[in-house]
Structure 1
Amino acid sequence: MATSTRSAPGLGRGVHLGYAAGSIGTAAFGTVPGLLLLFYLTDELGVGAGLAGLVVFAPKAWDVLLNPWIGARSDATVHRWGPRRPWMLAGGLALPVLFVLVFAGPSGAGAAAWVAVTFLLAATAYGCFQVPYVAQPAEITADPAERSTLMSWRVAALALGILLAGAGAPAVVDLAGGGRTGYLAMACSVAVLLAGGMLGAVVGTRRAPTLTRVTSEGRLLATLRVAARVRPFRLLLTGFVVQALGVGTMLAGVPYYARQVLGDPTAGTLLFAALVGPAILVMPLWLRVARRAGKRTGLLASSALFVVGAAALALGAPGRTTLVLALVVLVGVGYAGMQMFPLAMLPDVVAADEAASGRRRAGVFTGVWTAAETLGLAIGPGLLGLLLSLAGYRSSTGDAVAQTPAADTTVLLGFSLLPALLVLASLPVLARYRLAEAADDPR
């Protein structure tokens, strides 16, 4: 049964900043495992590339089942803090500890099993935070323009978090002397970002209004079927997941590309900074595009920039680091839009569905969304690990070893043409997205 709806109060700057803080934590967990975990397994623990790819993939695949369940349960949660913040607190407390444990295990025969189990637990804690966190914007404001502003703050924080974690994590590994000690020091520093960002969001959104929402759907399988039938959501999700697969492949390829293609292992930090650094600067530009041309147009344009820049990275070679960095900056400009626009479009779809259906199922939509996004980002490293294994990539326990020409070629294409083709494949799907189709009944 539906309840009455209060008028939506405006969000203050404090809520914008408080909500955005959570993305520093989600950025850290979404970036560092995809960037370093595969390489840590193959080139530090000596795990075969194929098995390492499976270890990175399997815990994230678990989220495909877990996250929709978390979404449904948070939809049905009744608490004086609102339906989302208790879940966010639980995830924010557990994840930092579990993340350190991922990099604190043994070497040798038990290494892969330790990482798989601890990473599974960490992914579970992450889902407890991420799913309700993504659901919040549809519930704290009814104004689509304000959601765009909220998302621009969030994506700016996301870019900052990715920059701090992605560029900082390899630097901490090097500063701590490399090896397993260096990776453990890195995990501790990332844990600080996780705790600060996620717990900061719990505190920062305590004054955010929770607009009175209608009754939760409550039935997980039924709402999953409904989510699949909502055409704008289905198209947006499909395109976003394909793009996440491309981005995940590129992120996992950074340390391999720096060493095998550019011949400079330390270039990985520069590559990552060039990828995510532009996001902070160009976010106001993409926000202006959203207001003038629409979010869908902005998403298509930013994706096209990513495709062009990523494909050109196939030109990488020793001595071409400057050219590669310039191309990665272009990729980063596109990547910023690819992050911002879907996150701004999702709350619009959720709110339109809720207005038409009379039921609260934001958690189900965001549970499906985060599960699919996580799966896409996990398949990327898994796919790269599989391709490296087929190409004969030689794992090691800390010392660089000579690779086969096929492995070198796989690293080159896995960082350039493969991500470009995957993002290119998403464009026809995203071009069909029309929220106007959902204005009266989005189903």
Structure 2
Amino acid sequence: MTVSRRICAGYSLGSLVTGSFSTVPGLLLLPYLTDSLAVPAATAGLLVLLPKAWDVIFNPVAGRISDRRGPRRPLLLQGGVALAVLFAALFALPAGGGVYVGVVFLLCATAYAFFQVPYVAMMAEITTDYDQRTRLMTWRMAILAVAILLSGAGAPAIRDATGGYHVMGIVVGLLILIGTVTVYVGTRGVATSGHMDTGAGFSELFAAVRQSREFRRLLVVFVIQAAGVSTLLAGVDYMSRVVLRDSGMQTLLFAAFVGPALLVMPMWQRVGTRYGKRAGFIVSSIIFAVPLAFCTLAQVVPAVVVVVLAAFTGVGYSGMQVFPMAMLPDVITAEEQRSGARRAGLFSGVWTAGETLGFAVGPGIYGIILAAGGYVSSTDAAVAQPQSAVTAALIGFAVVPVALVLVALPLLTKKLEVRV
């Protein structure tokens, strides 16, 4: 059964929320702490890591709540509205320092769980068709690319134009609110699963995950690669200011990384339909890693070369977003058919916990690398940095992400290609 364009568009617009919240904190929260609040790099990395690491525990709880409440849309609406308000507050009180940022970011992460978990779980319930799921995910990833581009390139531009972070926080909060309302309205009439809720506790949750080898392997690959991507994103600001010595390069570098996704999403859909999602996942990972490895030459080649390499890296990144998310509902449906129980929320909760961990670990890794390189935190972003800090910024941007993306590939065995 073909999913209507209205449902594809309505569901996909939820990526305005996931794209904004996954991108802007990973891109700007670390430099906000180190270069506006003068928080030491290692401490700043922990302040970004710990609130999201909390979701590793909390997201499965949100998954249980989502499964037991029935329709997922009301919970999604409540979580998204709360997130929009809290995100605007995140950058609104610089005098509160690192403690204030850490507490509000923790609340943001909690609200995000109540949006993200039912949002991901809905994917398995909109359609059970293998190819239609790839089509729906392609729509979603295209909107996600737009959201990442708007928020990731727009947020630094707003910050620079207004001379601070507070206006940027309000604007991104409004974008999150728009995404929440549109996905709620746009998915009206989507049927929910007919499986009975198991009311799974944590013992049942661990048992369900343990019984699904395919889910575990796919999750591990996705988390490791998410850590690599988030390390890269955390380094964009530092790559521009510290390595390329041009803060204006940040928007261009980020746009070059994300922009190709708008063009190549249809290509990845065709690859998935013809060769399978697993094959597309492997190829896109390699395309991500190879040009990014050449970015280690950033100090000896023209900046335009780095931008071009970032664009080729973005081609691979777009596929790395499409294929694991398109494979997830196949794995979920296979497990629901095997168990006869409603498990979309449960597995989605575990998945989003892993995703959140991966994207939280990146800034933490980058902060530790900066600290090891002797990065100087200050309220003045233009403060001179030692060469060791420059090298550290480059390693965090290019070397670590390549290593993390490639090390996960051996786990993508043929058994992960589940067709239902």
- Tell me the TM-score normalised to structure 2 length: 0.97
Deviations 1:66-114 (A, max 9, x none): 1000001111113xxx2x112101111101110011101233xx41100
Q: How far is 1:228 from its partner? A: 3.0
2:147 is aligned to 161
Q: Does 1:56 align with 2:44?
A: no
The two structures, once aligned, show a CA RMSD in angstroms of 1.4
Q: How far is 1:433 from its partner? A: 4.4
1:94 is aligned to 82
Q: How far is 1:435 from its partner? A: 3.5
Q: Contact 2:45–2:367 (CA<8 Å) still a contact in 1?
A: yes
Partners of 2:50 and 2:141 lie apart in 1 by: 27
Q: How far is 1:198 from its partner? A: 1.6
Label 1:195 to 1:95 Cα distance change in 2 as closer, same or farther (>3 A).
same
Partners of 2:373 and 2:211 lie apart in 1 by: 40
Partners of 1:236 and 1:433 lie apart in 2 by: 10
1:233-382 pair list within 5 angstroms? 233-317=215-299, 320-382=302-364
Partners of 1:354 and 1:161 lie apart in 2 by: 32
Q: Does 1:396 align with 2:382?
A: no
Greater Cα offset, 207-216 or 258-267: 207-216
Q: Contact 1:64–1:375 (CA<8 Å) still a contact in 2?
A: yes
1:112 is aligned to 98
Partners of 2:119 and 2:281 lie apart in 1 by: 22
Q: Contact 1:131–1:363 (CA<8 Å) still a contact in 2?
A: yes
SS in 2 for 1:136: helix
Q: Does 1:67 align with 2:71?
A: no
Q: How far is 1:175 from its partner? A: 1.1
How many residue pairs match? The answer is 420
Q: Contact 1:248–1:381 (CA<8 Å) still a contact in 2?
A: yes
Partners of 1:221 and 1:162 lie apart in 2 by: 36
Partners of 1:386 and 1:434 lie apart in 2 by: 34
Share of identical aligned residues, percent? 51
Q: Does 1:17 align with 2:9?
A: yes
Q: Contact 1:141–1:211 (CA<8 Å) still a contact in 2?
A: no
- Which residue identity does 1:93 align to in structure 2? V
Q: Contact 1:37–1:56 (CA<8 Å) still a contact in 2?
A: yes
Q: Contact 2:24–2:152 (CA<8 Å) still a contact in 1?
A: yes
Q: How far is 1:245 from its partner? A: 0.5
Q: Contact 1:261–1:317 (CA<8 Å) still a contact in 2?
A: yes
Partners of 1:431 and 1:410 lie apart in 2 by: 34
- Which residue identity does 1:60 align to in structure 2? K
Partners of 2:196 and 2:127 lie apart in 1 by: 15
Q: Does 1:226 align with 2:208?
A: yes
2:189 is aligned to 207
SS in 2 for 1:418: helix
Partners of 1:284 and 1:315 lie apart in 2 by: 31
Greater Cα offset, 247-256 or 217-226: 217-226
- Which residue identity does 2:110 align to in structure 1? T
Partners of 1:433 and 1:125 lie apart in 2 by: 35
Q: Contact 2:230–2:362 (CA<8 Å) still a contact in 1?
A: yes
Q: Does 1:141 align with 2:123?
A: no
Partners of 2:415 and 2:231 lie apart in 1 by: 25
Greater Cα offset, 212-221 or 317-326: 212-221
Label 1:400 to 1:287 Cα distance change in 2 as closer, same or farther (>3 A).
same
After the TM superposition, list the runs of 4 or more consecutive aligned residues in structure 1 that deviate by more than 4 angstroms. none
SS in 1 for 2:412: helix
SS in 1 for 2:385: coil
Q: Does 1:45 align with 2:50?
A: no
Partners of 2:154 and 2:415 lie apart in 1 by: 37
Partners of 1:435 and 1:302 lie apart in 2 by: 16
2:117 is aligned to 131
Please, which runs of 5 or more residues in structure 2 have no aligned partner?
A: none
SS in 2 for 1:396: coil
Deviations 1:172-194 (A, max 9, x none): 11111x2xxx2111111111110
1:172 is aligned to 158
Partners of 1:283 and 1:122 lie apart in 2 by: 30
- Which residue identity does 1:244 align to in structure 2? A
Partners of 1:197 and 1:390 lie apart in 2 by: 39
SS in 2 for 1:240: helix
- Which residue identity does 2:324 align to in structure 1? P
Greater Cα offset, 373-382 or 394-403: 394-403
Deviations 1:27-64 (A, max 9, x none): 00000000000000000111110110000000000000
